[in-house]
Amino acid sequence: MESLESLSPNQGLASNLKEAVLSLSQSQLSHQFRNTELLLQALTHSSFFNERYSNKKNEVRADNERLEFLGDAVIGLLVAQILMERFPKAAEGKLSRWRSSLVSRKTLAEIALALGMNDWLLLGRGERQTGGAVKTSILAGVFEAIVGALYLDAGMEKVSQFLRDSYNPWLISLTQLKDSEARKLFDMKTHLQEKTQELYRMVPSYQLLETWGPEHEKTFKVEIKIIGKHVAFGEGKSKKEAEQKAAQIALEILGF
């Protein structure tokens, strides 16, 4: 594959690079896109788009953020359906916790990495040089964008099968964990809340302290307090991820 670094900042996507990216991604997805531009858009991070297309008024291209938005909604719906089918006796609370874990950016990034999507990404030169291909937020975003593109190109049935196949190792792991282990592994906030309610008759409080970084790659810092006292900080690429990290650290500090 042609090196991304060999393209000048304002140069379009070279035909041989385009063909290589499409060939690799479509073979791994087991789907030949009718509209290959959808797939290219799904793989185009904003850093790549801004370097190469932002000043080209006649270029009908976009980064993957709109497809990411669509894919997020599709994943949420189908994961809920898959869980209901896979675990017909599970209570609503358990299903909600599992869905929250399975659609988290951490899990989506793990699946994307397992599928090799880090090799398909079209990243800007600076983002690639700073390890963008393995960043949780970017991997989760490209997974959501690809799901959005699949949905538009082939419909819900194709996406459903893709997600069932992609999630299978994670779904199998749910059946092998005891309920208490699953809560602790998949939802740190819920596990911590249950413990603090049991011991202190209070729930933890979370406060967003600061954010930094460019708009597409922000970092969030959250503080967690229990009974009004500081317990831990957590950082993540979303407020939710930072809260989960803070809860995880708090659980370790408190020995839960």
Phi-psi region of 96 (alpha: psi -120 to 50; beta: other; left: phi over 0): alpha
Strand 205-212 to 229-236 pairing: unpaired
Distance separating alpha carbons of residues 256 and 249, to the nearest angstrom = 10
In the set 127, 144, 153, 243, the catalytic residue is: 144
Q: Give the Cα separation of 126 and 132 in Å (integer).
A: 9
Among the listed residues 63, 72, 187, 241, the single catalytic one is 72
Whole-angstrom CA distances from 120 to 8, 48, 107 are 19, 13, 18
Residue 19: active-site member? no
CB of 146 closer than 8 Å to CB of 39: yes
User: Is 198 assigned a catalytic role?
Assistant: no
d(CA 163, CA 236): 25
- By annotation, the residues acting in catalysis are 72, 144
